[in-house]
A and B are shown apart, each in its own frame.
Chain A
Amino acid sequence: AMGRAVGLAGLLVGFFLVSAVLVSTSLRHGAPRAEPGPESAEWEDTSGSGPEDSLWPLPQWVRTSRHQLQLAPDRFQLLHGAGSSAGPACGLLQDAFRRYYEYMFGQSRWRKRSRGPLGDRAAPELLQLQVVIESQHSGCHSYPHLGSSEAYHLTVTEPVAVLKADEVWGALRGLETFSQLVHEDGYGSFLVNETEIDDFPRFAHRGILLDSSRHYLPVKSILTNLDAMAFNKFNVLHWHIVDDQSFPYQSIYFPELSDKGAYSYNHIYTPSDVRLVIEYARLRGIRVIPEFDTPGHTQSWGKGQKDLLTPCYDEEQPTGSFGPVNPILNTTYDFMTKFFKEISSVFPDAYIHLGGDEVNFNCWKSNPDVKEFMKKQGFGTDYAKLESYYIQKILDIVSSYNKGYMVWQEVFDNKAQLKPDTVVQVWMENNYAHELSSVTGAGFTAILAAPWYLDYISYGQDWKKYHSVEPLNFPGSEKQKKLLIGGEACLWGEFVDATNLTPRLWPRASAVGERLWSSSNVTDLADAYKRLTNHRCRMLRRGISAEPVFVGYCAHEAR
């Protein structure tokens, strides 16, 4: 963070940079701001046990001073500022105000606070945080999307702090940051240092993949995870909802899919469950992108949808087992048309993830009807062409519902015809930089998951290796690099369910969260360690059972 430069030279550099940033921020926020005056000498290096010691992810630009303000829980208010395009009718912000009040002052509710002056330490009081949404279209009653603005500007000075953001999404991010600045001292007083923060995410797509097919994840665990994501400024839940092993999604048009395909009646997501997840996510500025992975990874679909999957053959006889979705039948596409109509209306996000990974061709190769079809289409023995034939038809179906789509990299690798706004997810670890070059070189948007498979656990502080990934380290032009819109930390479910999800994901995913939000120069692991351990203790306080980073303790955990 630029505000931490030490010494006069640093201050001068800081001045210069601040002015530069102010110029650019003024373009985003409208009216230009006054430059900092002579009191800037007070803005010195506050590192040590400073207030930025628990900011995570690190904002783009932070300036703090040693001046502290006190907050009185029964007087402090989070409210809408004058000129905001959002007001009391903005449920999303009202909810957020209550939530963040609780995060900041929660434990101390039991202490009686006098209505008189705050002690004789005479630190001035911070009475309010005013939230001002500057854009006409606040986003209050809409869903977040890839192009949403998450930028915010936070000024903490007495008597009133101001949080400005274009849209409510930026206000949510700013509230999280503000709550990270408020700390309790040894006397139980709530303090915040005078601070100015200008912040925005480096990457627009910052996601977590959860797999609810290998193990069912109770709704509660998904909601808890959404809370943790908000603490880490993640903004996409990539819900890998069904797969080979089970089909927990209760479809309205095709109830048999979950009737026959879920692990049991208790292992199901009803339409009401799905709505709850989507709304809970929305209130935290998190998009929910469902993945219905086909044509592979579909064993569980075959239980409730006869003739959907390809029957495998041994010589001339069906073996009784099934392979990927059968790409040669019209019924397949009739089903998919209807199914994706439902999905398109149930999930409001502009994107649906269609999968397309790891398609095993053996079953197709064994099936005489498929072989016949290959001949007719002139595909020869290149089954990748059949795969592409299938994928393309699905892509067209989904397009017709005005949805964009995300696909795993194989779909691109196998040369299917993709729409220009397709997002390709790069997941194969081997030489992923090269894959990023290819994908972006072909003009497609990409997101990176390959180095962030958090289900691959190992002994020690692996958060460091996740933090050290530099997504733009691939050969390519400036234009290409712009096409990398973000990444995802993936927690595949082979060995994960509600008993171990939270400690396995957090705080390891936090490292990915910082890499995707913060500036590329935030790479100091010693500093990150300090902030991450503080951040982890804070997550614990907020009810997230994040596992320890290393040896040590948190104050609020002994019982």
Chain B
Amino acid sequence: PPQALPCTQLLVFVTTPDCDGFPSLDSKESYKLSVSEGSLLLSADAVWGALRGLETFSQLVGRDQNGTYYINKTEIVDFPRFPHRGLLLDTSRHYLPLRAILETLDVMAYNKFNVFHWHIVDDPSFPYESSTFPELSKQGAFNAMSHVYTAGDVRTVVEHARLCGIRVIVEFDTPGHTLSWGPGAPGLLTPCYSGKHPSGTYGPINPILNSTYQFVTSLFQEVSSVFPDFFLHLGGDEVDFTCWKSNPEIHAFMKQMGFGEDYRKLESFYIQRLLDIVSSLGKGSILWQEVFDNGVKLRPDSIIHVWKSSKPYMDEMADVTKAGYQALLSTPWYLNRISYGQDWMAAYQVEPLKFEGSAKQKDLVIGGEACMWGEYVDVTNLTPRLW
């Protein structure tokens, strides 16, 4: 074969660098790659596109049996179909050491994912070290000395992600999924009642107290400054009304507010105030679908995250986008639900836009997320289960 011409440089042109900025939903990830005799050119509008192009370039480089590296003449024009391509990790059901998170970010970059959805706290444990409320992790982490994410850890994750063109969207899921918040924030959770007396157990965040909203404001103030992305994920899933129903003060409040027996109205009351708080902090909100399903009054720029399989998820995607909200799809991508065989095929064959709706509606689907919930996952099996 003719002697291959040596290529010594890959030239990277970026129109609008913004090297020190953070990626966002609107970031341009498109790039052009041109490989020909004596010329290797990667051009992109933004650094984020350059990162994507570098990954592609690295996938084109081969090595022959003599050990020589080579690349074929190639022309690539590339851009993502969906701007939000995320991965959820759950660090509450099991603590994940920092190295596991950083390794995951690296592999995400190899696969052109651009959102790390950090489901950082939940019922079982609270590993996030808050500077405003240090007791939260002191009382709520599995082990307050070892199984925590310090402010330094969080900074490391955010920066490592940034360098890979990955946004970090943190989720502080409320008002349900908050049992671990209780020990470090007395009075935050609703005391459940057994007949006339407190049973000693707790339920979701107590939506009727002013102290709740003061707490939430302070916490989210801190979270908003620690996590630079415009969006925060506020959760809002699986709120069990049983505890609220058992509590006499809440009962009284329901009466006072004219909510009747419809506890979804109480949930809505909480969420709306939460959304206002978060908005006033200059952040956007992403919420699990229940918030939409339960008729909560949302802000028009709220993003709804579809995850439930109780009704065909494509119907939910249609409903959410019909109502004018942007949607994220996760339902068919719950990677924690393992099964025997090549299940990657089922995930691959999902078509996110396969629902009845106008072109305008379909534009509201901004992407999706693969979710790796942590009930059965920690650092021992995370990587082979995910990839």
Contact = CB atoms under 8 A, between A and B. Distances in A.
A431 interface: no
B94 A552 contact: yes
Interface string A536-559: 000010000111101111010111
Nearest to B98: A559
B338 A553 contact: no
Given A456-B340, A553-B95, A548 B384 contact: no
B337 interface: yes
Contacts of B124: 551-552
Contacts of B97: 557-559
Contacts of B341: 495
A458 B336 contact: no
B376 interface: yes
B294 interface: no
B131 to A, nearest CB: 21
Given A552-B142, A559-B97, A499 B338 contact: no
B304 interface: no
A420 interface: no
Nearest to B125: A553
A459 interface: yes
B380 interface: yes
Interface residues of B, number: 29
B95 A459 contact: no
A551 B143 CA distance: 14
Interface in B111-156: 124-125, 142-143, 146-147
Contacts of A41: none
Contacts of B143: 553, 555, 558
A516 to B, nearest CB: 23
Given A503-B384, A548-B94, A548-B380, A553 B337 contact: no
A548 B377 CA distance: 6
A459 B372 CA distance: 12
Contacts of A551: 93-94, 124, 374-375
B256 interface: no
B338 A547 contact: no
Contacts of B225: none
A457 interface: yes
Contact of B378 (A456, A457, A557): A557
A500 interface: yes
A500 B384 contact: yes
Nearest to A550: B375
A455 interface: yes
Contact of B338 (A457, A546, A552, A558): A457
Nearest to A546: B380
Contacts, number: 72
Contacts of A504: 381
Q: Which of A458, A546, A552, A555 has its CB near the most chain B CB atoms (within 10 A)?
A: A552
B339 A459 contact: yes
A460 interface: yes
Given A551-B93, A551-B124, A459 B378 contact: no
A556 to B, nearest CB: 9
A459 B385 CA distance: 12
B323 interface: no
Contacts of A557: 95, 97, 378-379
Contacts of A459: 336-339, 376
A357 to B, nearest CB: 19
A553 B147 contact: yes
B104 to A, nearest CB: 15
Interface in A512-541: 540
Contacts of B339: 457-459
B254 to A, nearest CB: 33
A288 B340 CA distance: 28
B340 A458 contact: yes
Nearest to B142: A553
Contacts of B336: 459
B376 A499 contact: no
Given A457-B338, A457-B339, A553-B125, A558 B376 contact: no
A557 B96 CA distance: 9
A559 B146 CA distance: 8
Given A458-B339, A552-B142, A553-B143, A545 B380 contact: yes
Contacts of B378: 547-548, 557
B148 to A, nearest CB: 8
A499 B384 CA distance: 6
Interface in A483-512: 495, 499-500, 502-504
Contact of A455 (B95, B125, B340): B340
Contacts of A495: 340-342
A409 to B, nearest CB: 21
Given A547-B376, A548-B377, A458 B94 contact: no
B147 A558 contact: yes
Contacts of B381: 500, 503-504, 545, 547-548
A545 to B, nearest CB: 4
A541 to B, nearest CB: 12
B146 A555 contact: yes
A348 B383 CA distance: 38
Interface string A362-385: 000000000000000000000000
A495 B342 CA distance: 8
Interface in A139-181: none
Contacts of B93: 551
B380 A503 contact: yes
A131 B375 CA distance: 42
A547 B94 CA distance: 11
Q: Which of A495, A499, A540, A553 has its CB near the most chain B CB atoms (within 10 A)?
A: A553
Contacts of A559: 97, 99
A170 to B, nearest CB: 31
A338 to B, nearest CB: 35
B378 to A, nearest CB: 5
B146 A460 contact: no
Q: Which of B97, B147, B384 has its CB near the most chain A CB atoms (within 10 A)?
A: B384
A558 B149 CA distance: 10
A196 B380 CA distance: 35
Contacts of B376: 459-461, 547-548, 550
Nearest to B379: A557
A5 B95 CA distance: 37
Nearest to A453: B340
Nearest to B341: A495
Interface string A452-469: 000111111100000000
Given A553-B125, A558-B95, 19 more contacts: A455-B340, A457-B338, A459-B337, A495-B340, A495-B341, A495-B342, A499-B383, A499-B384, A546-B380, A547-B376, A547-B377, A547-B378, A548-B378, A548-B381, A550-B376, A551-B124, A552-B94, A552-B142, A559-B99
Q: 9 nearest interchain CB pairs?
A: A500-B384, A503-B381, A558-B146, A553-B142, A545-B380, A547-B381, A551-B93, A459-B337, A503-B380
Interface of B: 93-95, 97, 99, 124-125, 142-143, 146-147, 336-342, 374-381, 383-385
11 contacts: A458-B339, A495-B340, A500-B384, A503-B381, A545-B380, A547-B376, A547-B381, A551-B94, A551-B124, A558-B95, A558-B143
